[in-house]
Amino acid sequence: MTAKRRNGKLAGNSIIISTILVMAGLILSKASGFLRDIFVGIKFSEAVYRDSFTLAFSIPDLVYNLLIGGSIQSAITPSLSAAIARGEEKKGIRAVSIFISFFAVLLIIVSVLGVIFSEQIYSVFSNGDHSANTVMLAADASKWLFPQIIFMMLAALCIGILNAYKRFESTSFGPTIYNFCVLGAIIIFAGNSRAALMNTTCGIMGAALIYFMYQAVVGRDKLKAFRFIWAPRDKEFHALFRRALPILISASVVQINMLILNYFAIRLPDAGNIYALRNASTTWQLPYGIFAVAIGNVMLPSLAEHYGKKDYKSASELLSSRLKSALFLTIPSAGLMFIMNSYVIKAIFQWGSQYTDADAERAGQFLAGYSIAIITHSIVFIMNQAFYAIGKTRVPLMAGCIGLITNPLCCTLLIPYMGAMALTLSYSITSILQMTILCAVYFTYKELRPKGILVFLLKSAVSLFVMGGLLTFIYEYTPDYTSKLLSLADLAAEALVAFFVYFVVSLLLKVEESREVISKLRSFLRKS
């Protein structure tokens, strides 16, 4: 084996190991996030407090994503990775230090203004008497959530820097620690009163502080090189800022679209739609967040390195393999959640009489509308990462801005005919449009475009069709279990059968990803 092939194999194994580590962290993070949402339904048993708690996060989350969230993985990580690859680590550290200092000051100012003017900001959601109390409580609760985004920003910056050094083992489990701290705050403080709501959000701010402290401690050897530097006229900072600005705006598009859905949801006649949307969103983002986000985040620094070295063939091969790997895992997940939408919601969230069958049916309808987005948004995320890696940050921004037009337009047109389900279906339609734009533009770069995607999608569609037919037949004869354990066991068994059928059909169709699974399994058994 030549040195080049050996190095390539080692790099490939490193990416796989890093992806597994990130996936493990995301699985724990998503599981703890589900527990958090379950206890929100239990502790805030009245719909007005559930909706207020959920709505309170919307504006602080938007501020976080608009000012800093998207720039971490998509601007700081590839920029620092490229600087390290070029042997200009100190130069990269200085630019990132200035970037952190500038946005820390900006975010503190914005957070203070958010606390002062929260009532005026949240009044945009108000729609008469039936929603006034929900909006007022959400505005009050947000006064603790605006300060929390400062600590979330600092933690995210630590993660972005460590990922540039490919220290994924130091960043994989921080979100899980945060979620468990949030869960503790909900269990201890939550209840059906204004005081309980305020105490809970105060506890969540404390969880964000712990999250930041954890990331700072585990990455202290790399983070100690970064200092507060106020030099907004620095040329390197300007270059990084110009790269980050479109990313900052495009990263906030997801949160703005969620605000749009909440805006329309609170205008529907029944209470509880905000929390139902949250349940459906948490559920569909389980496969998307574990598979697509993990694969895309690990891919980003390596893809940036290949592009920086002008190794376009390796860049194309890496994107092709990562895109197909993500879709191989998210496509059957989408089919499962579309067919068994309300059953999945019941199994996850219905742990007591507070969460009724009507609540589950409402969230299930939302989940069915989201199911298309599990596939399309996986492509959107990975293609966005690809554009960020090659420095073409304006393309994701353009696609996101178009989505901001189509989402409210689809909601306005479809709600009179489809009711609540139109909300998440509109989101999926928007995701399809964004995916189409991103792929059409990226495929114009012939030396970078991924290969074999169309054939892969056709084979995956056949596998999904067979899986869906069998799953529909099984679901028709699934009894209503009174035991929660039996219900969870049944869902797990049906999911395993569905994924097994999908895998076998894809194996028969010679889908490369299924054959790789068999190959790695044989290798593992030989070593054992």
Phi, psi at 392, each rounded to 5°? -95, 70
SS3 state at 229: coil
The residue from 411, 430, 451 where one domain ends is 451
The whole domain housing 365 covers 3-451
Print burial letters for 475-504: b (CB count within 10 Å at least 16), e (below 16). Answer: eeeeeeeeeeeebeebbeebbeebbebbbe
Token pair belonging to 371: 């199911």
Does one domain contain both 492 and 348?
no
Based on its alpha-carbon atoms, the radius of gyration of the chain, rounded to whole angstroms, reads 23
Contact 178, 35 (CB under 8 A): no
Among the listed residues 467, 445, 464, 443, the one whose alpha carbon sits nearest the alpha carbon of residue 453: 443
Cα–Cα distance for residue pair 366/406, rounded to 1 Å: 18
Does one domain contain both 325 and 351?
yes
Does one domain contain both 484 and 438?
no
Does one domain contain both 432 and 394?
yes
The residue from 424, 451, 478 where one domain ends is 451
Does one domain contain both 310 and 426?
yes
Does one domain contain both 438 and 475?
no
Read off the pLDDT of residues 426-443 as tens digits, 9 standing for 90 and up. 999 999 999 999 999 988
The residue from 403, 428, 451 where one domain ends is 451
Does one domain contain both 408 and 469?
no
Q: Would you say residue 129 has pLDDT above 70?
A: no
The model's pTM = 0.72
Q: Would you say residue 112 has pLDDT above 60?
A: yes
CA atoms within 13 A on the CB side of 305: 17
Read off the pLDDT of residues 384-426 as tens digits, 9 standing for 90 and up. 888 888 878 788 888 888 888 999 999 999 988 888 888 899 9
Query: What DSSP state is assigned to residue 166?
Result: T
Q: Which of 105-109, 166-170, 358-362, 426-430 has the lowest mean pLDDT?
A: 166-170
Does one domain contain both 345 and 403?
yes
Cα–Cα distance for residue pair 357/227, rounded to 1 Å: 53
Does one domain contain both 107 and 174?
yes
Does one domain contain both 418 and 459?
no
Does one domain contain both 99 and 207?
yes
Higher pLDDT, 247 or 64: 64
Does one domain contain both 238 and 377?
yes
CB atoms within 10 A of CB 270: 12
Mean pLDDT of the region 492-521: 86
**Looking at the 3D structure of the chain, how many domains does it have?**
2
Higher pLDDT, 392 or 168: 392
Among the listed residues 100, 393, 381, 385, the one whose alpha carbon sits nearest the alpha carbon of residue 243: 393
